[in-house]
């Protein structure tokens, strides 16, 4: 298999980032031990609080290393001809004991800016939120809190989104905000996660790794090795429809979302049809 797509370089970068994260974890643990010794020597509990924060930081770095290593390992296997090209979020999903997980970045109004998904069901779930304006990611980012629902509670909590989500075969969802310095910039959603995972330190470390190193570290690749998809084509389609029907872009975007959902067509596919001129959209319907 050729590597002209840059996969070899991505694997090298992932291994390098993993090694750096491992080294930073070791440094944080060593510093924590020093503060624990200071606490023992002085009886000052403040040193224990600092040590606890350093242990948490070390856990985030270790989790980041594992995610980078998983991606590099999967990518190396794919280069040797095994399976389909891996996504970074595949490793995140695996760490959560599921095959479906999605990371969504949002703007100040909690609207989706970009999505990175582990597989098609996860991507479809985020498309549903974008089209319907309700769901766990929106609740997690707007409330800046963990959101969980399973089975019947999914449909009760989100009357439009819930039935569509369960129709995908998903029976449980958890979404946790990604925030730094008091600003929520996205959320991690996991679908049918491993029982008992959500709320554990392992899950917290995964979220911390995504927030503090995978996305925001100076050496980070916020595009997740090409796995992040922006809503550019949808916004472009909204501009086309806005001109065609003589209404605001926001109105055109709402019309596109509604039509795609009603027709059961993937949002990106529907938008590409509009941009390509294969599909004309009016308030009455597509033509």
pLDDT digits (tens, 9 = 90+) for 7-47: 889 999 999 999 999 999 999 999 999 999 999 999 999 99
pLDDT at residue 99 tops 60: yes
List strands edge to edge, sheet with 112-117.
147-150, 172-180, 183-191, 100-106, 112-117, 229-230
pLDDT at residue 257 tops 70: yes
Residue 122 lies in a domain: yes
Q: Poorest-confidence range of 131-145, 174-188, 238-252? A: 238-252
**Structure confidence at residue 285 (pLDDT):** 59
**Structure confidence at residue 2 (pLDDT):** 44
Mean pLDDT of 164-181: 93
Mean pLDDT of 146-169: 96
Residue 134 lies in a domain: yes
115 in the same domain as 131:
yes
**Structure confidence at residue 234 (pLDDT):** 83
Residue 238 lies in a domain: yes
CATH number of the domain residue 246 falls in: 1.10.10
- The number of domains in the chain is 3
**Structure confidence at residue 283 (pLDDT):** 64
Domain extent at residue 153: 97-228
**Structure confidence at residue 1 (pLDDT):** 41
Residue 92 lies in a domain: no
Q: Poorest-confidence range of 41-45, 174-178, 272-276? A: 272-276
Mean pLDDT of 135-158: 95
136 in the same domain as 214:
yes
**Structure confidence at residue 7 (pLDDT):** 87
112 in the same domain as 188:
yes
108 in the same domain as 78:
no
- CA-CA distance, 9 to 56, in Å (whole number)? 31
Name the domain boundary from 228, 254, 275: 228
**Structure confidence at residue 284 (pLDDT):** 61
Q: Three-state secondary structure along the chain?
A: CCCCCCHHHHHHHHHHHHHHHHHHHHHHHHHHHHHHHHHHHHCCHHHHHHHHHHHHHHHHHHHHHHHHHHHHHHHHHHHCCCCCCCCHHHHHHHHCCCCEEEEEEECCCCCEEEEEECCHHHHHHHHHHHHHCCCHHHHHHHHCCCEEEECHHHHHHCCCHHHHHHCCCCCEEEEEEEEECCEEEEEEEEECCCCCCCCCHHHHHHHHHHHHHHCCCCCCCCCCCCCCEECHHHHHHHHHHHHHHCCCHHHHHHHHHHHHHHHCCCHHHHHHHHHHCCCCEECCEEC
pLDDT at residue 197 tops 50: yes
**Structure confidence at residue 287 (pLDDT):** 52
**Structure confidence at residue 27 (pLDDT):** 97
Least Cα distance to 170 among 104, 118, 209, 131 occurs for 118
pLDDT at residue 61 tops 80: yes
The whole model's pTM is what? 0.85
pLDDT at residue 224 tops 80: yes
- CA-CA distance, 173 to 166, in Å (whole number)? 10
More confident residue, 241 or 88: 88
103 in the same domain as 71:
no
- Name the average pLDDT for the chain: 90
Mean pLDDT of 147-156: 96
Q: What is the share, in percent, of the chain residues with pLDDT greater than 70? A: 96
Least Cα distance to 238 among 219, 224, 258, 223 occurs for 258
Least Cα distance to 68 among 192, 250, 215 occurs for 215
- CA-CA distance, 64 to 99, in Å (whole number)? 18
Would you give the end-to-end CA distance of the chain in angstroms? 43
**Structure confidence at residue 50 (pLDDT):** 97
**Structure confidence at residue 77 (pLDDT):** 86
- CA-CA distance, 135 to 165, in Å (whole number)? 9
Contact 130, 238 (CB under 8 A): no
Mean pLDDT of 251-278: 84
CATH number of the domain residue 200 falls in: 3.30.450.340
Name the domain boundary from 53, 86, 119: 86
222 in the same domain as 251:
no
pLDDT at residue 174 tops 80: yes
223 in the same domain as 236:
no
**Structure confidence at residue 4 (pLDDT):** 57
Mean pLDDT of 97-118: 91
pLDDT at residue 193 tops 50: yes
């Amino acid at each position: 298999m050729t590597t002209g797509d840059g996969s070899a370089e991505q694997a090298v970068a992932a291994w390098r980032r993993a090694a750096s994260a491992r080294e930073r974890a070791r440094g944080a643990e060593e510093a924590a031990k020093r503060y624990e010794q200071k606490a023992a020597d002085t009886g000052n509990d403040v040193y224990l609080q600092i040590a606890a924060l350093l242990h948490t930081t070390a856990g985030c770095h270790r989790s980041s290393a594992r995610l980078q290593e998983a991606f590099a390992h999967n990518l190396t296997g794919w280069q040797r001809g095994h399976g389909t090209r891996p996504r970074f979020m595949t490793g995140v999903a695996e760490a959560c004991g599921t095959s479906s997980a999605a990371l969504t970045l949002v703007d100040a109004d909690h609207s989706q800016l970009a999505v990175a998904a582990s597989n098609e069901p996860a991507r479809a779930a985020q498309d549903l939120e974008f089209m319907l304006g309700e769901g766990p990611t929106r609740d997690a980012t707007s409330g800046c809190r963990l959101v969980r629902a399973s089975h019947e509670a999914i449909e009760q909590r989100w009357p439009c989104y819930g039935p569509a989500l369960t129709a995908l075969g998903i029976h449980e969802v958890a979404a946790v905000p990604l925030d730094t310095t008091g600003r929520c910039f996205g959320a991690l959603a996991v679908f049918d996660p491993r029982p008992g995972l959500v709320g554990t330190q392992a899950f917290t470390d995964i979220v911390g790794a995504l927030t503090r190193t995978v996305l925001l570290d100076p050496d980070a690749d916020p595009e997740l090795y090409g796995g992040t998809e922006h809503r550019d084509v949808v916004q472009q389609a909204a501009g086309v429809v806005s001109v065609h029907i003589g209404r605001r872009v926001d109105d055109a975007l709402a019309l596109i979302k509604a039509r795609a959902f009603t027709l059961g067509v993937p949002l990106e596919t529907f938008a590409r049809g509009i941009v390509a001129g294969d599909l004309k959209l009016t308030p009455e319907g597509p033509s």
